[in-house]
Amino acid sequence: MDKLVADVEELYRSSFACAAQCCARAPGRVEVLGNHTDYNEGLVLSAAIDRHLCVAVGRSDNTFEFVSGSFPERVVISEVVPQKEYAWTNYALGVYHWLKAAGYPVAPFRMAVTSTIPQGAGLSSSAAFEVASGLALGDLYGFKIDKQELAHLCRKAEHTFAGANCGLLDQYSVLFGKQQHLLLIDFRTLDYRPISLAGLDIVFAITESGVTHRLGESAYNDRRIECESAARYFSEKDPAVHSLRDVNPGKLHQAGDELQASALKRAQHVIGEIERVKAAIELLEQKDLRGFGKLLYGSHESSLVNFENSCPELDSLVRIASQFEGAYGSRLTGGGFGGATLSVLDCTIEKHTFVRHLTDAYARETGHTCAIHFATPAGGAEIIER
Ligand code: ADP
Ligand code: MG
């Protein structure tokens, strides 16, 4: 049995003095290409990764009880409302709340959690927690839920119980990821498709920069407004345009002076990212990892110049990674303004050499310490049959 599953069952047993009834496991995820395109009805390439969060559950009479290998306390909750003191329970409580609101026959439960997904590293431990909770509760209370519906419901849980305004990328990646594949998600239709990596042996290095720029949140909102204003400009010229997804690169060049320079640059980034995702799919089909990697560097350059969501620390990590033999590409991943980078590396690289190369040079250049997590594309969340 998987060690993490064995661990969660043991944690459940030692905490609640009985065996768990059901168990589910969900992977973390990484955004590979298609930065800030989700709210512009764009395309994203992501991957579920081989870091997992497991939950074990059992029925309870009328309270909700939680333990996690990552937190010291055992939490008992009688009312399903967002928790302040033990905020980590909100992800499972929120999923329970929205399952119930949707009419699913859920009732109180005990839950144990174990995980190898670092928290707050941009690998979406939160979505893994939600999705694993939803699957395990379905198994415990004997109902099946459509995965797309579960994704929406988990996002609602994250918005309302955890107060994080995430898109659907996280939950989709966690649910629909496939081993040895990337996942293409179309945010206009919410269709998704696995993209094969057969014969392409890569490893991801997700590197936490150790910095979060405080300007991040307000800048994120500014970017959304600028994208909307650019989309409005183009739709006034052409009513067929509903979002930046409908603006092709040719139309961008025809933009007049009425479009603010900053809005034009944001649009260039989003439209460029959508084109890069399309190009990436072709290059992966042709097994051209060098070409694919160049798109990642191009994405980062566009973040730096057009979207202005990079920062010196992320630029430094990408530059240092690019100097490593065996690196195909590197870019900031996720929102930006600090956070993490993704490097795509040949699977034959020596991991400890990469770690030393990156950490030494990064510390020298910035004075910061980075944390590196290696991962490979993995399958989506699942109920563990026992
Ligand atoms: P990310 O999703 O990038 O990892 P978030 O801040 O969205 O970062 O989610 C992290 C939060 O999810 C943690 O602060 C914690 O509340 C919850 N969480 C993640 N992993 C666990 C775990 N193993 N046990 C309990 N709670 C967890
Ligand atoms: Mg999260």
How far, in Å, is the centroid of ligand 1 from the Cα of 129? 7
Say if ligand 1 is within 6 A of residue 88 CB: yes
- Write the pLDDT tens digit of every residue in 331-346: 999 999 999 999 999 9
Average pLDDT, the chain: 96
* 153 and 12 together in one domain: yes
Ligand 1 pocket test target in 8, 29, 88, 154 with most atoms within 8 Å of CB: 88
Quote the pLDDT of residue 216: 67
- Total structural domains within the chain: 2
* Strand, helix or coil for residue 192: strand
**Ligand 1 neighbourhood includes 70 CB (under 6 angstroms):** yes
Task: Give yes or no: residues 247 and 139 share one domain.
Answer: no
311 and 285, same structural domain? Answer: yes
Give one DSSP letter per residue of 263-287, joined into a string: HHHHHHHHHHHHHHHHHHHHHHHTT
Please write the tens of the pLDDT for every residue from 133-188: 999 999 999 999 999 999 999 999 999 999 888 889 999 999 999 999 999 999 99
For residue 348, the Cα-to-chain-centroid distance in whole angstroms is 25
Q: Is 30 in the pocket of ligand 1 (CB under 6 A)?
A: no
**Token digits of residue 22:** 């059901």
Among 7, 38, 139, 170, the active-site one is: 170
Residues in CB range of 334: below 8 A, 6 or more apart? 31, 122, 340
φ, ψ at 228 (rounded to 5°): -65, -40
How many A from CA of 231 to the centre of ligand 1?
34
Please indicate, yes or no, whether residues 95 and 16 belong to a single structural domain of this protein: yes
The CA–CA distances, whole Å, from 259 to 228, 253, 266, 300, 331 equal 12, 11, 11, 24, 28
Q: What is the DSSP string of 201-243?
A: -EEEEEEEEEEE-TTHHHHHHHHHHHHHHHHHHHHHH-TT--S
28 and 148, same domain (yes or no): yes
From the CA of 334, the nearest ligand is 1
Residues 270 and 137 in one domain: no
Judge if the beta carbon of residue 123 lies within 6 A of ligand 1. yes
Give me ligand 1 centre to Cα 124, in Å. 7
Tell me, yes or no, whether 187 and 60 share the same domain. Answer: yes
Residues 144 and 217 in one domain: no
Instruction: Count Cα neighbours of 196 within 13 Å in the Cβ-side half-sphere.
Output: 5
Q: Is the pLDDT of residue 361 over 90?
A: yes
Q: Give, using CA atoms, the residue closest to atom 7 of ligand 1.
A: 126
Where b means 16+ CB within 10 Å and e means fewer, 83-99 reads beebebbbbbbbbbbbb
- What span, in angstroms and rounded, lies between the C-alpha atoms of 18 and 40? 48
Kindly give the number of the ligand 1 atom that is closest to the alpha carbon of 158. 7
Q: What domain range is 351 assigned to? A: 202-375
Q: Is 222 a catalytic residue?
A: no
Query: Which residue's structure tokens are 């309870």?
Result: 60
Task: Give the bridge partners for 208, in sequence order.
Answer: 340, 371
| Residue 220 pLDDT class (50, 70, 90 cuts) | confident
CA of 174 to the centre of ligand 2 (A): 11
Pocket test for ligand 1, best of 51, 75, 126 (most atoms within 8 A of CB): 126
Containing 168, the helix (H) or strand (E) segment is none
For ligand 1, say whether the CB of 115 is within 6 Å of any of its atoms: yes
Residues 174 and 224 in one domain: no
pLDDT of residue 41: 97
User: What CATH number corresponds to the domain at position 348?
Assistant: 3.30.70.890
CA–centroid distance, 130 to ligand 2, in Å, is 10
Cβ of residue 126 lying under 6 Å from some atom of ligand 1: yes
CA–centroid distance, residue 158 to ligand 1 (Å): 11
CA separation for the pair 7, 136 (Å, rounded): 16
Q: Are residues 191 and 208 in the same domain?
A: no
Residue-wise burial string across 156-188, b where 16 or more C-beta atoms lie within 10 A, e elsewhere: bbbeebbeeebebbbbbbbbbbbebbbbbbebe
CATH code for the domain in which residue 186 is found: 3.30.230.10
Q: Judge whether residue 214 has pLDDT over 80.
A: no
Instruction: Establish whether residue 339 lines the binding site of ligand 1, counting it when its CB lies within 6 angstroms of any ligand atom.
Output: no
- Provide mean pLDDT across the span 97-125: 97
pLDDT tens figures, 226-284? 999 999 999 999 999 999 999 999 888 888 888 999 999 999 999 999 999 999 999 99
Report DSSP state, residue 305. Answer: I
Residues 137 and 222 in one domain: no
Output the residue whose Cα is nearest ligand 1's atom 2.
Answer: 124
Query: pLDDT tens digits for 204-213?
Result: 999 999 998 7
The whole-angstrom separation of Cα 359 and Cα 346 is 19
Q: For atom 11 of ligand 1, which residue has the closest CA? A: 126
Q: Give CA–CA dist 49/159, Å, rounded.
A: 23
Single out the residue of 329, 361, 333 nearest to residue 345, CA to CA.
329
Based on the domain organization, do 87 and 132 belong to the same domain?
Answer: yes
Decide: 161 in ligand 1 pocket, CB within 6 A: no
